[in-house]
């Protein structure tokens, strides 16, 4: 029986801005098991980073978070005071960020920054922390690890720094790693190495992994489950095979249109093949948010809800009010009408 | 780091040589020193005798090397007016000026860094506004006016503090505040701006994601980086404050170098002026060097550039 590491139910994030209330995340639910990889995909601005920051309790000060449930190892952490939350952070749950070039403090050595969290969460003992740091630097494929400890971030390349970030995230044996586009800033060959490494380590240490990415090729290769986000909501979720083989939501279909064969997508292929722009998420919102870009939209969609509806194969769900067959029928009749 | 230190020291040395040559030549070119010494009533023969006596008739570069050589050994000649050795006059007074300068710098740093940090943590809060007010006042008020107001209020009305002389520590309180306040606004604004920028940076998010305590994030990760430009600015201000001490020392009758230079300028006492200019300039150069080295230590990226 697999163990649930993280369970989120109905996560919303609101940010007051000059023009009103922004709703960048509008009711997201998911769960991650030990040893499982959940990939969150979606185009820029759909709320992926805010979702991951919300789970870590690292949202910007002005942002307001609400959840029905936020369970970590079965315990509610949504209402933990900051002091308790900071004990989990960097300990049992850790995060890898997008920008390896700026995510390390230029004023301190790699060793100091690696050992810091360990010495706060596990033991003050320098020697133990040092051994762990060397062990993990070797694990992430950094040669002459011991001598790297006294180097500063500016002495390392981007790829090496991201390896250091990964080692840093692993220092306290986390049960959950959240990686927010960990390879976007790196060049293509390095990207593949880093992702491969991440997947390998996740397997070895039996951690839950939430990987946020733009890269569908990566998703096809390492995801167990996929969550497709659009405008702050989940529009489709399911096992990786189901998503690639039977994409149900028009947005997912749009994303995948350029990929004829599942699992053979070229590395580095970016989303954004869906024409149109993302709606403004300020103020009261109604109807399906994808309708202005949807080729199948009708008047009904102006008032439609965006609830996830289960599809035939158990875990697979999408948030379109119409089934695949319905959409085909509508499309057929509208082409007829046009003729 | 060592190579960097050597390189910077060499540059500092070159600057010092240029500065000393300028000091020497400026005061020699501005007026005929023999005329100044002899005074208006001196006859032509007297002037000629003075020229011979002081060696003004020899080529300028010979005079420079001789002067520089003696200056290196701490010998700046005798004051034209008092007839005392310049080195003795300076050594008697430099302690007062240094004490004032260091106290004023400490005062400025103790006020400006915490205020800047608090203002950065809560931009537009009450503290931030008060800090801004202090800064605006500091920039707008002339130092001498501020000093005079203090003398009137704290010295004359309330009789808390002595207003003239340098016999006790109490004598240094008002001069320190007057001189230090002058540097506070710039240091505070720079601390605030630096902290705001650093607090929004990715590595601060990383530090928070590691679950470090807020004070570790603030002081270890943020302040260390935000303080780098402040160190450089503080060094510059320290130099300004030593120069600015002319006004403060004169107002409070503190018998330091500033007071001495004011006196020497009034009397065209050339050796004294030269010595003071050279000492202040050297001090400035050394300060800049020290702040560069301190910066390189704080920011490991500097020494590789
Ligand atoms: N502090 C903030 N204040 C106001 N709006 C914000 C803030 N942070 C994020 N947003 C907005 O919220 C939306 C979602 O942002 P988020 O960073 O989660 O997107 P993302 O899916 O991670 O995009 P990307 O792929 O570009 O990283 C965006 O429209 C963004 O402009
Ligand atoms: Mg993002």
pLDDT in tens, B192-233: 999 999 999 999 999 999 999 999 999 999 999 999 889 888
Q: Choose, out of B197, B206, B225, the residue to mutate when testing the contact with A (most A CBs < 10 Å).
A: B206
Alpha carbon nearest to ligand 1 atom 17, residue: A49
Whether residue A285 is predicted with pLDDT greater than 80 in this model: the reply is: yes
- Ordered by where they begin, the domains of chain B are 95-304 (1.10.3720.10)
Whether residue B254 is predicted with pLDDT greater than 70 in this model: the reply is: yes
Q: What's the pLDDT at B305?
A: 52
Judging contacts by C-beta atoms under 8 Å, the chain A residues touching residue B304 are: 154
Contact A294, A301 (CB under 8 A): yes
Q: Which CATH number fits domain A4-338: 3.10.20.30, 3.40.640.10, 3.40.50.300, 3.40.50.150?
A: 3.40.50.300
- CA trace torsion A13, A15, A20, A23 (10° rounding): -20
Judging contacts by C-beta atoms under 8 Å, the chain B residues touching residue A121 are: 211
Mapping DSSP to helix (H, G, I), strand (E, B) and coil, where does residue A28 land? strand
A329-338 average pLDDT score: 68
**Which residue of A89, A108, A152 is in closest CB contact with B210?**
A89
Mapping DSSP to helix (H, G, I), strand (E, B) and coil, where does residue B32 land? coil
A44 lines ligand 1 (CB under 6 A): yes
List all residues 6 or more positions away from B304 whose beta carbon is below 8 Å from its beta carbon: A154
List all residues 6 or more positions away from B79 whose beta carbon is below 8 Å from its beta carbon: B85, B86, B89, B264, B269, B271, B272
Q: Could you read off the pLDDT of A199-227 as tens digits, one per residue?
A: 999 999 999 999 998 788 889 989 999 99
Whether residue A163 is predicted with pLDDT greater than 70 in this model: the reply is: yes
Strands A93-96 and A176-180: what pairing? parallel
Q: Choose, out of B200, B208, B210, B230, the residue to mutate when testing the contact with A (most A CBs < 10 Å).
A: B210
Q: Which of A46, A98, A184 to mutate to test the pocket of ligand 1 (most atoms within 8 A of CB)?
A: A46
Q: Could you read off the pLDDT of B10-32 as tens digits, one per residue?
A: 998 898 888 888 888 766 666 67
Residue A25 to residue A287: CA distance in whole angstroms? 16
Report the mean per-residue pLDDT for chain B.
85
Residue A228 to residue A244: CA distance in whole angstroms? 11
Binding-face residues of B in 190-229 toward A, CB within 8 A: 201-203, 205-213, 221, 224-225
A45 lines ligand 1 (CB under 6 A): yes
Whether residue A265 is predicted with pLDDT greater than 60 in this model: the reply is: no
Please list the alpha-helical segments (H only) found in chain B. Answer: 2-30, 33-38, 44-54, 60-72, 86-121, 126-140, 143-150, 170-199, 202-209, 214-215, 224-252, 257-266, 270-298
Percent of chain B with pLDDT over 90: 22
Whether residue A12 is predicted with pLDDT greater than 80 in this model: the reply is: yes
Smallest Cα distance from A229 to chain B, Å = 24
**Which residue of A95, A99, A107 is in closest CB contact with B209?**
A95
Number of Cβ within 10 Å of residue B149's Cβ equals: 12
Q: Does B303 touch chain A (CB under 8 A)?
A: no
The DSSP 8-state label assigned to residue A149 in this structure reads T
CA A68 to centroid of ligand 2, rounded, Å: 24
Whether residue B76 is predicted with pLDDT greater than 90 in this model: the reply is: no
Q: What is the largest CA-CA distance in chain B?
A: 85
Whether residue A152 is predicted with pLDDT greater than 80 in this model: the reply is: yes
| C-alpha B174: how far from chain center | 18
A46 lines ligand 1 (CB under 6 A): yes
| C-alpha B164: how far from chain center | 22
The DSSP 8-state label assigned to residue A222 in this structure reads H
Strands A93-96 and A317-318: what pairing? unpaired
Alpha carbon nearest to ligand 1 atom 6, residue: A15
Contact B1, B303 (CB under 8 A): yes
Q: Choose, out of A96, A106, A111, A154, the residue to mutate when testing the contact with B (most B CBs < 10 Å).
A: A106
CA B212 to centroid of ligand 1, rounded, Å: 25
A135-160 average pLDDT score: 92
Residue A261 to residue A321: CA distance in whole angstroms? 27
B115-124 average pLDDT score: 90
Question: Is B249 or B29 the better-scoring residue by pLDDT?
Answer: B249
Contact B212 A116 (CB under 8 A): yes
List all residues 6 or more positions away from B209 whose beta carbon is below 8 Å from its beta carbon: A56, A58, A89, A90, A94, A95, A97
Q: What's the pLDDT at A336?
A: 66
Residue B205 to residue A59: CA distance in whole angstroms? 10
Alpha carbon nearest to ligand 1 atom 10, residue: A24
CA A183 to centroid of ligand 1, rounded, Å: 18
CA A49 to centroid of ligand 2, rounded, Å: 4
Contact B205 A88 (CB under 8 A): no
Whether residue A271 is predicted with pLDDT greater than 50 in this model: the reply is: no
Q: What's the pLDDT at B113?
A: 94
Whether residue A63 is predicted with pLDDT greater than 60 in this model: the reply is: yes
Mapping DSSP to helix (H, G, I), strand (E, B) and coil, where does residue A4 land? strand
Report the mean per-residue pLDDT for chain A.
87
Smallest Cα distance from B9 to chain A, Å = 23
B82-94 average pLDDT score: 89
CA A97 to centroid of ligand 2, rounded, Å: 9
Lowest mean pLDDT among A265-269, B110-114, B159-163, B239-243: A265-269
Contact B211 A99 (CB under 8 A): no
Alpha carbon nearest to ligand 1 atom 29, residue: A45
CA A228 to centroid of ligand 2, rounded, Å: 14
A49 lines ligand 1 (CB under 6 A): yes
CA A251 to centroid of ligand 1, rounded, Å: 19
Orientation angle between helical segments B60-72 and B2-30, nearest 10 degrees? 130
* Chain B residue nearest residue A105, CA to CA: B203
Cα R_g (chain A), whole angstroms: 21
Q: Please state the atom number of ligand 1 nearest to the C-alpha of residue A46.
A: 21
Q: In what order do the strands lie in the sheet with A176-180?
A: A93-96, A176-180, A208-212, A37-41, A225-230, A233-239, A317-318, A309-310
A106 lines ligand 1 (CB under 6 A): no
Q: Could you read off the pLDDT of A221-245 as tens digits, one per residue?
A: 899 999 999 999 999 999 999 999 8
Mapping DSSP to helix (H, G, I), strand (E, B) and coil, where does residue A123 land? coil
Q: Where are the domains of chain A?
A: 4-338
A24 lines ligand 1 (CB under 6 A): yes
Structure token digits, residue A313 = 């194969």
Query: For B119, left (φ over 0), alpha (ψ -120 to 50), or beta?
Result: alpha
Smallest Cα distance from B302 to chain A, Å = 10
Contact B225 A106 (CB under 8 A): yes
Q: Please state the atom number of ligand 1 nearest to the C-alpha of residue A51.
A: 18
Residue A108 to residue B90: CA distance in whole angstroms? 43
A59 lines ligand 1 (CB under 6 A): no
Residue A278 to residue A115: CA distance in whole angstroms? 42
Smallest Cα distance from A34 to chain B, Å = 21
CA A105 to centroid of ligand 1, rounded, Å: 23
Closest by CA to B177, choosing from B255, B256, B111, is B111
Cα distances (angstroms) measured from residue A28 to each of A13, A338, B220, B290: 10, 38, 36, 55
């Amino acid at each position: 029986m697999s163990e649930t590491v993280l369970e989120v139910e109905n996560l919303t994030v609101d940010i007051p801005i000059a023009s009103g209330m922004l709703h960048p995340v509008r009711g997201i639910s998911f769960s991650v098991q030990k040893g499982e990889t959940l990939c969150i995909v979606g185009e820029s601005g759909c709320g992926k980073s805010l979702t991951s920051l919300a789970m870590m309790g690292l949202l910007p000060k002005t942002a307001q978070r609400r959840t029905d449930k936020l369970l970590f190892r079965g315990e509610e952490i949504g209402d933990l005071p900051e002091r308790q939350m900071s004990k989990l952070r960097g300990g049992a749950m850790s995060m890898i960020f997008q920008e390896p070039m700026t995510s390390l403090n230029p004023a301190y050595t790699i060793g100091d920054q690696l050992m810091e969290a360990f010495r706060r969460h596990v033991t003050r003992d320098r020697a133990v922390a040092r051994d762990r740091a060397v062990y993990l630097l070797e694990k992430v494929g950094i040669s002459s690890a011991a001598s790297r400890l006294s180097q500063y971030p500016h002495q390392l390349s981007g790829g090496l720094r991201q390896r250091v970030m990964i080692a840093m995230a692993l220092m306290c044996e986390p049960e959950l790693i959240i990686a927010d586009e960990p390879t976007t800033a790196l060049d293509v060959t390095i990207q593949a190495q880093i992702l491969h490494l991440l997947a390998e380590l996740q397997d070895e240490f039996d951690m839950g992994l939430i990987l946020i990415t733009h890269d569908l090729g990566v998703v096809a290769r390492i995801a167990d489950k996929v969550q497709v986000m659009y405008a702050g909501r989940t529009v489709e979720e399911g096992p990786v095979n189901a998503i690639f083989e039977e994409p149900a939501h028009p947005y997912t279909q749009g994303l995948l249109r350029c990929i004829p064969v599942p699992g053979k997508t070229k590395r580095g292929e970016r989303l954004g093949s869906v024409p149109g722009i993302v709606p403004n998420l300020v103020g009261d919102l109604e109807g399906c948010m994808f309708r202005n870009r949807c080729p199948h939209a009708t008047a009904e969609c102006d008032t439609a809800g965006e609830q996830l509806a289960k599809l035939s194969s158990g875990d697979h769900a999408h948030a379109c009010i119409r089934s695949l067959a319905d959409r085909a029928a509508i499309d057929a009749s509208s082409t007829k009408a046009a003729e | 780091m060592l190579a960097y230190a050597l390189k910077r020291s060499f540059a500092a040395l070159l600057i010092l040589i240029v500065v000393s040559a300028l000091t020497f030549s400026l005061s020699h070119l501005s007026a005929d020193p023999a005329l100044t010494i002899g005074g208006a009533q001196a006859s032509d023969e007297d002037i000629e005798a003075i020229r011979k006596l002081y060696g003004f008739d020899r080529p300028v570069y010979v005079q420079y090397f001789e002067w520089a050589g003696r200056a290196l050994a701490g010998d700046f000649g005798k004051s034209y007016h008092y007839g005392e050795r310049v080195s003795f006059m300076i050594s008697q007074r430099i302690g007062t000026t240094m004490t004032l300068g260091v106290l004023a710098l400490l005062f400025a740093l103790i006020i400006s860094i915490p205020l800047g940090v608090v203002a950065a943590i809560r931009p537009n809060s009450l503290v931030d506004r008060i800090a801004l007010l202090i800064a605006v006042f500091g920039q707008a008020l002339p130092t001498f006016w501020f000093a005079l107001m203090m003398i009137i209020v704290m010295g004359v009305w309330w009789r808390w503090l002595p207003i003239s002389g340098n016999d006790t520590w109490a004598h240094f309180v008002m001069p320190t505040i007057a001189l230090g306040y002058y540097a506070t606004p710039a240091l505070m604004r720079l601390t605030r701006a630096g902290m705001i920028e650093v607090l929004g940076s990715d590595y601060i998010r990383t530090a928070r994601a590691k679950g470090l305590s807020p004070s570790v994030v603030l002081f270890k990760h943020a302040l260390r980086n935000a303080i780098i430009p402040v160190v450089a600015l503080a060094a510059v201000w320290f130099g300004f404050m030593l120069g600015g001490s002319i006004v403060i020392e004169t107002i409070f009758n503190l018998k330091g170098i500033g007071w001495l230079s004011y006196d020497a300028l009034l009397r065209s006492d050339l050796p004294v002026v030269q010595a003071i200019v050279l000492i202040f300039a050297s001090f400035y150069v050394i300060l800049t060097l020290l702040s560069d080295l301190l910066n390189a230590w704080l920011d490991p990226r500097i020494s590789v550039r």
